[in-house]
Structure 1
Amino acid sequence: MDLKHYVFDLDGTLIDTEAAVLKTWQHTLKEYGYEYSLNEVKVVLGVTTDIGLQRLNAHADENYTYKWQTNYESYSQEADFFEGTKEMLKLLKDRGCSLGIVSSRSQKEYERFFKSFHLDELFTTVILEEDTKEHKPDPEPLFKYMELTGADKDICIYIGDMPTDIQCANNAGVISGLVTWNGSGISCDEAKMTFNDPKEICDLAMCSDGTFNRDKL
């Protein structure tokens, strides 16, 4: 079948936000009396705030998210597209592919910190934290994407940078793709495909017969 729906994680996959996110977590946790190194707070990457706090065994009040978003303002300018990702997205769109985002970011964060990237010009469907009850690695966010678009799982691929992204895709029966172009060194044997460069996704979309054989995975 044709692979028509390319769905992406946001942070660490399309946009390099790792330094900004980690510095914000470190900064905000310090306000609550916690001292964590940047390496220690890496466990929060790719998950919601509540799960991140649980992983760090940190306790915070209901103001934590507001404080985090306020502090992120100071670091958000460090974020930018990974080299080649914007061009890859434009090529996919030009070839008639449907582009989607499934992210653990909240709607407020998405509107506040990603508006400058003009993502709405490229993506037709965006699934964020508030859109589902369960979150990655649960498959519900991808099920929500397929519900809204009417896409069959056999024509979808979900591409991310974390094991939770791969597990979400596999749990949903969607082809899973792991990116390594962010230099994180993270690997995941469960990933059906690995992409070392955005050009490899372009190659996938431009394969000679225009189709993708799932049986080869």
Structure 2
Amino acid sequence: MHPHPPILLFDVDGVLLDSRGHFLAALDSMHDRFTNWNYEILARTTSVDIIRMFESGAKKRSIPSLATMLKNFKELIPNRFRRLVYIAMMGRKIDKYDWQFSDFFPGTEETLRYLRSKGIILGAASNSHRDRIAKWFKLKNVDDLFPLFISRDVRKTYGVKPSPVPLLALLVKIKKYYHFPKIDRNRVAFIGDLITDVQAAQRAKIKSIAVLSGHSARGELEFHNPDYIIPDINSIPQILPKLFPDDKFE
């Protein structure tokens, strides 16, 4: 007898949400002449690179965040003042474009409701802000499916991925919320699109599922040996019998 039903934890951006607004914000910013780019380096830079450079700093506290982003963009934007202006502008542009152009991937709500109908417990662990996640969940009518999630707002307590602590903290919350006697990590999987997601799952000793719908290429994900690599979350129902072989999904 298992102590609880299967548990699936999800990253948000690149897994549930296409983050198209982020990419468009990055592309738009790359055409801003005021920024005084190093165009030789910019020519070898993609919008994904820009987003990664920005988000790697945005995951941390304010002062370390600024220092990280100033360092990340030093070669691309040599002038320190222009760099500061760009970072401030980029943050506002990402927020604006996010609500204008981003959306859930097709079939996301249907897949999530199917999984929940099979008794699977759902949770989310994201490096994004809590208010943003809650707003998207409510907008896309899935807030009832995610009574519990972990965001970057609690990073001072739990850190951020690739640390396993956010995932483990979420599992503790799920255990208490559903009154499970304990958590069997063999019955838990985390779905993400980044290497840091795979690493967080592996360090938390739960199953890792990498999706190709986000920021990472198959090759870099394969290098870190996730348990499964799938095109997107709509493929999860197909691998449920392998994920949780003791359960019946009809």
- Distance verdict in 2 for CA 1:144–1:66, change over 3 Å: farther
Does the Cα contact within 8 Å between 1:106 and 1:129 map onto a contact in 2?
yes
Q: Which amino acid in 1 is paired with 2:246?
A: T
- Shifted more, 117-126 versus 43-52: the winner is 43-52
Deviation at 1:78, TM superposition (A): 1.3
Deviation at 1:144, TM superposition (A): 0.9
Q: How far apart, CA to CA, are the structure 1 residues paired with 2:172 and 2:56?
A: 22
**Residues 140-155 of structure 1: pairs in structure 2 closer than 5 A:** 140-150=165-175, 151-155=183-187
TM-score normalised according to structure 1 size: 0.77
The answer to whether the aligner puts 1:40 opposite 2:49 as a matched pair is yes
More helix by share: 2
- Shifted more, 158-167 versus 144-153: the winner is 144-153
Aligned length: 211
Q: How far apart, CA to CA, are the structure 1 residues paired with 2:215 and 2:153?
A: 29
Deviation at 1:14, TM superposition (A): 1.0
Deviation at 1:141, TM superposition (A): 0.8
- Distance verdict in 2 for CA 1:154–1:55, change over 3 Å: farther
The answer to whether the aligner puts 1:98 opposite 2:130 as a matched pair is no
Q: Identity, % of aligned pairs?
A: 22
Secondary structure of the corresponding residue to residue 89 of structure 1? helix
TM-score normalised according to structure 2 size: 0.68
Gaps of 5+ in 2: 75-79, 176-182
- Distance verdict in 2 for CA 1:115–1:65, change over 3 Å: farther
Gaps of 5+ in 1: 213-217
1:132-187 alpha-carbon deviations (Å, 9 max, x no partner): 33111111110111111123322110001111110110111110000124585344
Deviation at 1:130, TM superposition (A): 1.4
Secondary structure of the corresponding residue to residue 191 of structure 1? coil
Does the Cα contact within 8 Å between 1:3 and 1:156 map onto a contact in 2?
no
Does the Cα contact within 8 Å between 1:104 and 1:135 map onto a contact in 2?
yes
Secondary structure of the corresponding residue to residue 96 of structure 1? coil
